[in-house]
Amino acid sequence: MMAELHDVKLESLFAEAKHDLEGEAITARVMSRTRNRLFTLLGGGALLSLVLLLIGWYVFAGPLLEFAVLVSEFLTNPLIDLGEGWLALVFLPINNIASILVLSTRVSLLAWKKLTGTSLIR
């Protein structure tokens, strides 16, 4: 490799010109800029999320509500038709699909705990 000759005088001049600059002010300014950028990003993210939420609400609120109504109607359908008398009122809390689902889940969890000795729900 060819030697890269440097002018000695110039080299010493460059070395002499280098000096330690006080750094607290510039460090504070840089850190402040990083903080501002972080806040800007967080603010922008929050604003974007809000806008997306509002758009989502505007677009999906109607269909979601309809779906929720349909599901709740389905789950509260009586399993056995007991008419509209006192017997229907007495059995109302358990005479529907939702109650059966809750009870079967509860029984499954208990059975699992009995069989394995561990709980699925922590």
Partner 1 sequence: MAVRKAQDYYPDCPEPFLVSLARAGDRSAFEELVRRRQSQVRNLMRRFCNDPVLADDLAQQVLMKVWLNIRQLKKSGAFDAWLRKLAVNVWLHHVRRNDALRGAGELQGTERPRTETPGVAVDLDRALARLDPHIRTCVVLSYNEGMSHREIAGLTGMPLGTVKTHIRNGAQRLQEILSAYEKPQEVNAP
**Does residue 93 belong to the site contacting partner 1 (CB under 8 A)?**
no
Residues 27-86 that bind partner 1 (CB under 8 A): 27, 29-31, 33-34, 37
Minimum CB separation from partner 1 for residue 42, in Å? 14
> Which tokens sit at 119?
């709980």
Our CB check for partner 1 shows the closer of 22 and 73 to be 22
Min separation Cβ 43 and partner 1, Å = 17
Q: Is 21 in the site for partner 1 (CB under 8 A)?
A: yes
Count other C-beta atoms under 10 Å from residue 95's C-beta. 19
Stretch touching partner 1 by CB under 8 A, among 5-13, 57-65, 82-90, 103-111: 5-13
Under DSSP, the state recorded for 89 is H
Contact status: 115 vs partner 1 (CB under 8 A)? no
The region, left, alpha or beta by phi > 0 then psi within -120 to 50, assigned to residue 117 is left
Q: Report if residue 3 touches partner 1, rule: CB under 8 A.
A: no
Q: Which of 95, 98, 99, 97 is nearest to 83 (CA)?
A: 95
CA distance 113 to 120: 8
